[in-house]
Amino acid sequence: MTYTLTTPLYYVNDRAHLGSAYTTLACDAIARYRRLKGESVLFITGCDEHGQKIQRTAEAAGMSPQAHCDAISADYRALWERWQISNDRFIRTTDPRHQRIVEQFFARVEANGDITEGRQQGWYCVACEEFKDDPREAQDPECPIHRRPLEWRDEVNLFFRLSRYQDQIQALIQTPGFIAPESRRREVENFVAHGLRDFSISRVNLPWGIPVPGHQGHTFYVWFDALLGYITALLAAEDEPLLDTALARGWPASLHVIGKDILRFHAVYWPAMLLSAGLPLPAKVFGHGFLTREGQKMGKSLGNVLDPAVLLERCGTDAVRWYLLRDIPFGDDGDFQQQRFTDLVNNDLANTIGNLLNRTSSMARRWFDDGVPPGQDSTRSADSSHPLAVAATAACRTFEAALEQLDFRQAAEAALQLAIQANGYLNEQAPWSLMKREGTRDQVADDLYAVLESARIVGLLLAPLLPDLSSRMLLQLGQTPPQSLAAAAPDQPSPSSWVDQLRWGGLVPASTLPEPVPVMARLELTEDL
């Protein structure tokens, strides 16, 4: 079974911002974790390139929509590469193969009697690409999200008969685990309880979209086309653009990760569209929260947008990944605070984790011939009752259980706690004092072995969350970092030994320890990011 996992397909009206980086980093951690466990993963990201918003943005920039999309989507692709995102696919909805998939899907929905013609009247937010529900009476209504005026629309469109799926969607929403976290599930439940209305899936007079077959003058509403990008993305490079071929590559999706603002599309409209086409439904939709900066909404007008490219360049991928995954409960809103960011990175990564490794391997090298000290058999055995062995086993259990729940914060804390315990143990045992006494060499060797072994496990646990730091730690211990990258042939599970490596006792006595270099530099930010 393939674990298919998606980020939203990002609009190309603008370059990536911290919100898009947040979702993508979280998905990357999940994809890496699953691969490390030996699962076959298909990690999809990409760009959503049609619709009025994109058309207008391109016009304003004096570019053709296609040229504009090419430029911005290339930016996205390059950015994810620099962040070391391990996506297996990057889909663009202007890919000609996507049009073929949309046509085939639409044919199924139409054959099922779910397409009708109707008159669409209402207030539209171009930035959301969405009709707003209730502002009919208001004068000069504006979008509550974008604070921009809504536009009145009155046109003949094709409609999807969403109302037909009321009961099925209602039941789906009750399915445990389909929508997470629970607070988001309740939002959707509320929305559905008010009764589902058919929604328009085409636009007239909008050239920048996929033409609706058999309905001249209509192009598909951008959301109808975009959601199907998840299916087009399944196609391998050599595949013909056939719906069934794509589906066989990894449908249904195991997980759609999205921000809370687009929950309705994923948890209501999308499943209904799939039901209509007779296709299986995704297993889970996770709606995460919104990021603010120093308590304020990020926006161009406020001039406080955090550019992920700048952040990466100045702070590095480990620091940002750590802060976002460790500090913000996944699902809740989160606030980016520069001081807190610096403090967490310096305390957790540079001091606690980095120094643990550095000072322990320096002592080991100095006193034990540049190699791993010989721990006692009882300390090294997989079921050792050494306090650090017990702590490591518990940390691994907590870590896995947390990631299964997409609780990155708890997973990160489990790894960090193990490092804290190992530091505590080292301070208690004080091998630097012991070494000054006679007959204590075996004890020191055993202590250092246990601490180094704990550091190895911390390094391994960090592999899905902070792949770079994890590799540096493991190399520092003379180990080979595990593979968690996109596989060359992603539908073949890459054999993984991560789970085996997590077992206590993996360090081999007398194996070489390379000369220590700091694995994590401190962040010294003198000005605002």
- Interface residue with ligand MSP, options 290, 329, 355, 425 (CB under 6 A): 290
Measured CA to CA, the distance from residue 471 to residue 494 in angstroms comes to 18
- Interface residue with ligand MSP, options 2, 3, 5, 22 (CB under 6 A): 22
Q: Interface with ligand MSP by CB under 6 A: which range of 32-40, 168-176, 211-219, 290-298?
A: 290-298
In this structure, are residues 373 and 328 in contact, taking their beta carbons and an 8 Å threshold?
A: no
Q: Interface with ligand MSP by CB under 6 A: which range of 3-11, 173-181, 440-448, 453-461?
A: 3-11
Measured CA to CA, the distance from residue 329 to residue 409 in angstroms comes to 6
Q: Quote the least distance from Cβ 436 to ligand MSP, whole Å.
A: 54
Amino acid found at 11 = Y
What would the x/- binding string for ligand MSP be over residues 297 to 336, using CB under 6 A? -x--------------------------------------
Dihedrals phi, psi of 421, to nearest 5 degrees: -65, -40
Q: Interface with ligand MSP by CB under 6 A: which range of 225-233, 321-329, 375-383, 408-416?
A: 225-233
In this structure, are residues 72 and 10 in contact, taking their beta carbons and an 8 Å threshold?
A: no
DSSP 57: H
Cβ proximity to ligand MSP: between 26 and 36 the closer is: 26
The site that binds ligand MSP (CB under 6 A) totals a number of residues, namely: 19
Rounded to the nearest 10 degrees, the angle between the axes of helix 467-476 and helix 356-367 is 10
The residues with which 153 forms a beta bridge, in sequence order, are 122
Cβ proximity to ligand MSP: between 178 and 498 the closer is: 178
Cβ proximity to ligand MSP: between 9 and 356 the closer is: 9
| Cis check: omega of the bond before 493, within 30 degrees of 0 | no
Interaction with ligand MSP in 247-286: which residues (CB under 6 A)? Answer: 258-259, 261-262
Residue 9 within binding range of ligand MSP, rule CB under 6 A = yes
Q: Concatenated DSSP letters for 267-324?
A: IIIHHHHHHHTT-PPPS-EEEE--EEETTEE--TTTT-PPPHHHHHHHH-HHHHHHHH
Q: Quote the least distance from Cβ 193 to ligand MSP, whole Å.
A: 23
Residue 291 within binding range of ligand MSP, rule CB under 6 A = yes
Q: Interface with ligand MSP by CB under 6 A: which range of 4-12, 135-143, 195-203, 477-485?
A: 4-12
Interaction with ligand MSP in 41-80: which residues (CB under 6 A)? Answer: 48
- Interface residue with ligand MSP, options 2, 20, 232, 361 (CB under 6 A): 20
Interaction with ligand MSP in 404-463: which residues (CB under 6 A)? Answer: none
Cβ proximity to ligand MSP: between 32 and 266 the closer is: 266
Cα 242 → chain centroid? 28
Q: Quote the least distance from Cβ 157 to ligand MSP, whole Å.
A: 20
Q: Quote the least distance from Cβ 119 to ligand MSP, whole Å.
A: 26
Residue closest to 223 by CA, chosen among 205, 245, 200, 257: 200
Q: Interface with ligand MSP by CB under 6 A: which range of 15-23, 28-36, 131-139, 196-204?
A: 15-23
Q: Concatenated DSSP letters for 128-172?
A: TTEE-SSTTSSSS-B-TTT--B-EEEEEEEEEE-GGGGHHHHHHH
Residue 8 within binding range of ligand MSP, rule CB under 6 A = yes
In this structure, are residues 177 and 284 in contact, taking their beta carbons and an 8 Å threshold?
A: yes
Measured CA to CA, the distance from residue 473 to residue 377 in angstroms comes to 24
Cβ proximity to ligand MSP: between 43 and 504 the closer is: 43
Q: Quote the least distance from Cβ 428 to ligand MSP, whole Å.
A: 43
Q: Quote the least distance from Cβ 75 to ligand MSP, whole Å.
A: 13
- Interface residue with ligand MSP, options 196, 206, 226, 267 (CB under 6 A): 226
Run of H or E residues at 509:
none
Q: Minimal CB distance to ligand MSP: which residue?
A: 259
Residue closest to 424 by CA, chosen among 400, 441, 447, 444: 447
Measured CA to CA, the distance from residue 446 to residue 375 in angstroms comes to 4
Residue closest to 419 by CA, chosen among 316, 324, 349, 490: 349
Measured CA to CA, the distance from residue 381 to residue 265 in angstroms comes to 52
Residue 122 within binding range of ligand MSP, rule CB under 6 A = no
Cβ proximity to ligand MSP: between 119 and 146 the closer is: 146
Residue 10 within binding range of ligand MSP, rule CB under 6 A = yes
CA dihedral 266, 300, 332, 77 (to 10 degrees): 60
Number of residues that make up the chain? 529
Q: Interface with ligand MSP by CB under 6 A: which range of 59-67, 226-234, 323-331, 370-378?
A: 226-234
- Interface residue with ligand MSP, options 3, 4, 5, 23 (CB under 6 A): 23
Pairing of strands 199-200, 202-204: unpaired
Q: Interface with ligand MSP by CB under 6 A: which range of 6-14, 83-91, 137-145, 470-478?
A: 6-14
Q: Quote the least distance from Cβ 4 to ligand MSP, whole Å.
A: 14
Q: In what order do the strands lie in the sheet with 291-293?
A: 296-297, 291-293, 334-336
Q: Quote the least distance from Cβ 290 to ligand MSP, whole Å.
A: 4
Q: Which two tokens stand for residue 520?
A: 């994590």
Run of H or E residues at 174:
helix 166-174
Q: Quote the least distance from Cβ 432 to ligand MSP, whole Å.
A: 46
Dihedrals phi, psi of 164, to nearest 5 degrees: -65, -20
Q: Quote the least distance from Cβ 176 to ligand MSP, whole Å.
A: 23
Q: Which residues bind ligand MSP (CB under 6 A)?
A: 8-11, 19-20, 22-23, 48, 226-227, 229, 258-259, 261-262, 290-291, 298
